[in-house]
């Protein structure tokens, strides 16, 4: 009888271990790891009205952030370390990104679009939430405040 109890305990322990591994795999896969592209929509007055995720795949989809970030949320994008995030603007105006506090990028990232009408930066942090302002040249008095969520 003692042999069966030992075997049952080992089987139970193995099943628990496999369950924990499979749960962790599902959690890791829920947050996709792709580059992300955003479009700053500008209204008729030349001011930013919202930031739209235009990437074909939403990194937030399937994660616990799906309802508040990504294509279902407002002005928010999910991204992972060492991936690129690109902003373009709908009216071809110059624009600038001003982060409130720390930035999730390497030092070489220019936060001004200049004549390219695009900003592309590589994420260089493993976790955090970063708020920033979008300042559009056609509406310098207004700032617009989207968010980036970084998870690995």
Spans of all domains in the chain? 1-30, 31-150
Query: Tell me, what's the pLDDT at 6?
Result: 53
31-150, what's its fold?
A: Immunoglobulin-like (2.60.40)
Query: What pLDDT is stored for residue 25 in this prediction?
Result: 37
Residue 108 near residue 79 (C-beta atoms within 8 A): no
Containing H/E element for 22?
helix 2-30
Give pTM, 2 decimals: 0.79
pLDDT in tens, the chain (152 residues): 555 555 565 654 454 443 433 333 334 457 899 999 999 999 999 999 999 999 999 999 999 999 999 999 889 999 999 999 999 999 989 999 999 989 999 778 999 999 989 999 999 999 999 999 999 999 989 989 999 999 98
Q: Residue 139 in contact with residue 46, Cβ under 8 Å? A: yes
Which residue, among 106, 93, 152, has the nearest Cα to 128 in the 3D structure? 152
């Amino acid at each position: 009888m003692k042999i069966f109890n030992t075997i049952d305990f080992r089987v139970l322990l193995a099943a628990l271990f496999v369950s924990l591994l499979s749960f962790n795999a599902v959690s890791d896969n829920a947050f996709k790891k792709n580059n992300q592209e955003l479009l700053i929509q500008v209204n008729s007055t030349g001011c930013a009205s919202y930031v739209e995720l235009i990437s074909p795949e939403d990194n937030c989809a399937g994660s616990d952030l799906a309802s508040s970030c990504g294509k279902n949320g407002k002005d928010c994008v999910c991204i992972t370390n060492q991936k690129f995030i690109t902003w373009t603007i709908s009216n071809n105006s110059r624009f600038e990104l001003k982060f409130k506090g720390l930035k999730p990028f390497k030092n070489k990232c220019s936060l001004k679009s200049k004549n390219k009408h695009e900003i592309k930066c590589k994420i260089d942090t493993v976790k955090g939430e970063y708020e920033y302002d979008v300042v559009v040249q056609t509406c310098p008095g207004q700032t617009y405040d989207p968010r980036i969520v970084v998870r690995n």
